[in-house]
Amino acid sequence: MSASHEDWSPSSALNDSPVPKHEQLRAILLRLAKDQLAPGALLPSERTLMDAYGVSRITVRAAIGRLVTDGHLVRVPGKGTFVADSAVQSTLHLASFTQEIEAQGLTPSTVVLTAERTTAPPDSASALSLARGAEAIHIRRLRLADGRPVSVDDAWYSAEHAGGLLGIDLTGSIYRALAAEFGHQIDRARQTVRAEAAPTDVAVLLGMEAGGPVLSFDRTSFSGDLAIEHARSWYRSDRYALSMEVRL
């Protein structure tokens, strides 16, 4: 796979058929993004594509727009259109980030940004059934897959049930540590997922534009009836996707 489009040449021509030209071009560009260019590679310019396929700028933009919407390409204002990174595919189930990434055949890694015992914010205190103003364990981490930033996790843990977290290696799976070292197997969670604009500090850590699209998770995790963790997480939407099976 090439890292750029410098050696690119049209692989096929558009034809007069019932299939609209923007759909034909979309299929060609999708094959280019999947088979010839590496993630992060710059797509040929609109002018190059117009000249190569003898189509209008409107046709090119329609084809590219569909691929951007579908998550195959990413537009960067002032720089061009790039091949999107392959997204980690997550099904709706209870697993740690480390388990999810390992299941994809990728290598997880973590940068610990904050590890402290301090006053829990009101929403976390409520989620953990703590008194207002009570202390909790605060751990904020940047999570990566094969060295690429995927998410920022900002989590609070009950100091009563997980106070020993500050004494262990926090670059691995905290869920595994909770089960193995503290006897609290995380067996259920309540979680809300929404799309939102990346806060500036999160965007910097994830290597994206401030205000860019992220998936925001708000999760309270339990071991039996005990609320152990309250976490907010922000995932790059071009590197993480949720999948599910829906039945009647």
What is the per-residue pLDDT across 116-131, written as a single tens digit (0 to 9) for each? 999 999 999 999 999 9
Instruction: Identify the pLDDT of residue 75.
Output: 82
Q: What is the mean pLDDT of residues 95-100?
A: 64
Instruction: Identify the pLDDT of residue 39.
Output: 78
Contact 158, 225 (CB under 8 A): no
Instruction: Identify the pLDDT of residue 67.
Output: 83
Q: What is the mean pLDDT of the chain?
A: 84
Share above pLDDT 70 across residues of the chain, in percent, rounded to a whole number: 83
- 24 token code pair: 């034909």
Is 21-83 assigned to CATH 1.10.1520.10? Answer: no
What's the rounded Cα separation, in Å, for the pair 195 and 220?
A: 18
Strands (E) across the chain are located at 73-76, 80-83, 88-91, 108-119, 135-145, 148-158, 188-197, 213-223, 226-236, 240-243
What's the rounded Cα separation, in Å, for the pair 29 and 16?
A: 18
Instruction: Identify the pLDDT of residue 88.
Output: 53
**Which one-letter DSSP state was computed for residue 42?**
B
Q: What is the mean pLDDT of residues 142-157?
A: 90
Range with top average pLDDT, 33-42, 93-102, 165-174: 165-174
Instruction: Identify the pLDDT of residue 131.
Output: 95
**Phi and psi, residue 238, nearest 5°:** -90, -5
pTM of the model: 0.63
**Which one-letter DSSP state was computed for residue 108?**
E
Q: What is the CATH number of domain 88-243?
A: 3.40.1410.10
Contact 211, 223 (CB under 8 A): no
Instruction: Indicate whether 194 pLDDT > 90.
Output: yes
Contact 38, 1 (CB under 8 A): yes
- 122 token code pair: 């009101």
Instruction: Indicate whether 2 pLDDT > 50.
Output: no
For the chain, where do the domains classified as CATH 3.40.1410.10 start and end? Answer: 88-243
Range with top average pLDDT, 29-38, 93-102, 189-198, 231-240: 189-198
Q: Which of the four pLDDT bands, split at 50, 70 and 90, describes residue 239?
A: confident
Q: What is the chain's percent helix, strand, coil content, to nearest 5?
A: 30, 35, 35
For the chain, where do the domains classified as CATH 1.10.10.10 start and end? Answer: 21-83
Work out the end-to-end distance of the chain between its first and last CA atoms, rounded to an integer number of angstroms.
42
Contact 111, 141 (CB under 8 A): yes
